[in-house]
Amino acid sequence: MDGYGSDFATLDFDFSCEDPVPCMLCDQQFQVINDEQSLLHHLITVHKFVIGEVEEIADLRQYVVYWSKLRTLELRDYCIVFNTNGEPGSKLPSETFYLLCKKLPEDKRLRAILSQLKLRYIIDQKEKERRDETFSRKCIYCSDTVTGGIANSFHHLTFDHGFSLGNPDNIVNGARLLNILEEKLSKLLCICCEKTFKTPVLLREHMRKKQHRSLNPKNKMYDKFYLLNYLEPGTPWQEAKQRHDTENETECVATKPKETEEDCLWADWREDVNPSMTCLFCSFTTSKVPDGLYHHMKNYHQFDFKCSTKNLTFYQKVKVINFIRTHVRDNHCYMCPAAFSNQHSFQEHMAEANHCVLPNSSEWEHQQFLIPVLNNDGLLCHLEDSEIEDEDKIIPEDLYEYKNSVLEDDKLREEIKGTEETELDIPAMCLFCRYTVSGEESHTQICSHMQELHSFDFVDVMRGLPFYSQVKLINFMRWKTAKNECYVCSHIFDSTYKLEEHRVISDHLVVPLSHLFQDERWLQPVLEGDGLLQRLREEGDSDEELDSFDLCHEETVFSEDIQIPPSILNNSAVRQELLENMKDLIIEEQDF
């Protein structure tokens, strides 16, 4: 303190303090650490006082404490004075304002010292966090507890959940940042676009599909958690980062050191926030996301992407994009058999034949087109999913009043109500994960879930099987999934995620060979109270005839003749193995 002179004796230089401070010109208290605008608004409206370049002040609390001495001083001696509405003929009264800025040598020196001391404090704070290996915390996105230091918590979010929060070495006060992010997620807020969702499932689906597992770059609240913002106070972090990166590239152009593995891992985070997007039909690339690309395709290729795909689901749009990119990459027209040896001839043909249109769904509705053709395809990253927005939309119907209805019988109404509630309360669970729903539309939701997230068309598969074959197939697949085993090739994996990846890449999305699941033992339910089995129907069956004979006559079986063998769950070792795999499946599905 002594080295800075007696003028700074009023300051405590406690940069960790967040106590409110009184206005520099009156006794009203303000919390300036998290909300500086309330103080600035008070100063300009009540005292006609303005602080210049306030964003360059390293610590506004200490700054206000220092200039509290202005209460007993003449403002004209320290501030720039200017009058408003002073033009001849102006009907508005003239007002006098005072501007305190770094034009004053004392103010400039104060700002420089605060910046220097604040930077020293932040570096010391970062060093303490780096050395503290006792820090442990529950992950903000799953139930795991991460130990070994604050950096491990950020590494866990990056490598286990795909979050892009930056290199932990550049983050300071990381525990506070994690608390803020956890609070946002608990309020069902996306941390990137800051949009609110109705359920945690919708929020996670949105963050996964939109790649919104990063901070909002426009929210300045996060600036204080990154060391870069303390090097040049007042300079936008994007500009400071770009200049810093340019200087590093210039210095290292002659002797560029070999990048470490960790540097490579953080390369994605250092890229632009909005990835560039490439046209579906040519090499045109733009960073104007996404309207710039849509405008180009509509004007140069007569292909209105928004209009053509407005009725498609998210995954159908993905298939369309990868289908077109596959044919354009091979210079092969997807509307006719024409193939070309170069891109120029291909482009001429597409324009002259007006073949830049959306083909029939039978051409592109295949699971292989869920795999991206271009690495980091910007168009895929910015697809909109209307299903999430409209999931809870209810379309009203016109209701008519009926008289003398049989439903006026209270006893009959209670009986019907009890029957409906019993059926609706039976939950239905996905064949590949722990996703479970109940209610009147549960069967439709489960089928849609399996088709979109697991590339398995349950309705189409079951349509071609007799009733009891459907039962066997469901129990067979549940048993295989519980053991992380592919039901087509019987390969075993150590996680559900790897099993899913194998199914898509190997195109094991079809019905397995019939001899694999036709054993009579698969008539015994693997999952107790399986709602999916309860909702099975075959053509011609009514709700009262679920146990009727098989209309397909492929293997007619009557319920009274069925001899179900001893349950496969009677074996204690097998039952224990199934339970353990189910526990792992639950944990992995939560992360997935």
Residue 77, exposed/middle/buried by CB under 10 A (0-12, 13-18, 19+)?
Answer: exposed
Q: State the Cα–Cα distance between residues 286 and 284, nearest whole angstrom.
A: 7
CA distance 306 to 373: 20
- Say if residue 591's pLDDT is above 50: yes
Buried b (16+ CB within 10 A) or exposed e, 406-424: eeeeeeeeeeeeeeeeeee
3-class DSSP state for residue 192?
Answer: coil
What are the b/e assignments for 319-353, b being 16+ CB within 10 Å? Answer: bbbbbbbbbbeebebbbeeeebeeeeebbebbeee
Going by their DSSP bridges, the two strands 21-22 and 29-30 should be labelled as antiparallel
Contact yes or no for 276/260 (Cβ under 8 A) = no
**Residue-level pLDDT at 139:** 92
**What pLDDT does 529 receive?**
74
Q: Give, as one character, the DSSP assignment of residue 564.
A: P
How many degrees, rounded to 5, is the angle at CA 518 between CA 514 and CA 522?
Answer: 130
Torsion of the alpha carbons at 112, 118, 121 and 127, rounded to the nearest 10: -100
Q: Output 50 or 290, whichever has higher pLDDT.
A: 50
pLDDT digits over 320-375, tens only? 998 998 888 888 898 888 888 887 788 888 888 888 888 888 888 888 888 888 77
Average pLDDT for 114-140: 89
Phi, psi of 332 (to 5 degrees): -125, 120
152-166, 245-259, 502-516: range with lowest mean pLDDT? 245-259
Residue corresponding to tokens 């039962």? 471
pLDDT band at 42 (very low <50, low <70, confident <90, very high): very high
Q: How far apart are CA 353 and CA 336, in angstroms?
A: 10
What confidence category does residue 582 fall into, taking pLDDT thresholds of 50, 70 and 90?
low
Q: Which residues are CB-neighbours of 503 under 8 A, at least 6 positions away? A: 454, 455, 486, 488, 509
- What is the C-alpha to C-alpha distance for residues 454 and 503, in angstroms, rounded to an integer? 9
Q: Which of 316-320, 333-337, 542-546 has the lowest mean pLDDT?
A: 542-546
Q: For residue range 134-157, list pLDDT tens digits in order.
A: 999 999 988 889 998 998 898 888
Whole-number Å distance between alpha carbons of 17 and 60: 12
Strands 49-51 and 80-84: unpaired
The answer to whether the peptide bond before residue 359 is cis (omega within 30 degrees of 0) is: no
Helix axes 572-591, 467-482, angle to 10 degrees: 80
Q: Rounded to an integer, what distance in angstroms lies between the CA atom of residue 539 and that of residue 474?
A: 18
In percent, how much of the chain has pLDDT > 70?
A: 71
- 520 vs 97: CA distance, rounded Å: 90
pLDDT of 288 > 70? The answer is no
Q: What is the pLDDT of residue 216?
A: 86
- What residue ranges do the domains of the chain occupy? 2-119, 132-251+264-270, 277-389, 407-591
Phi then psi for residue 572, to 5 deg, are -65, -40
Does the pLDDT value for residue 583 go beyond 70?
no
Kindly state the average pLDDT of the residues 428-439.
Answer: 81
Greatest mean pLDDT range, 194-208, 274-288, 442-456, 565-579 = 194-208
Residue predicted with more confidence, 565 or 448 = 448
| Average pLDDT over the chain, rounded to an integer | 75
Identify the pLDDT of residue 46: 92
96: pLDDT strictly greater than 60: yes
What is the reported pLDDT for 546? 35
Position 188, amino acid: L
The answer to whether residue 49 scores a pLDDT higher than 90 is yes
Q: What are φ and ψ of residue 164, in 5° steps?
A: -125, 85
Instruction: Tell me which residue has tokens 């939309």.
Output: 393
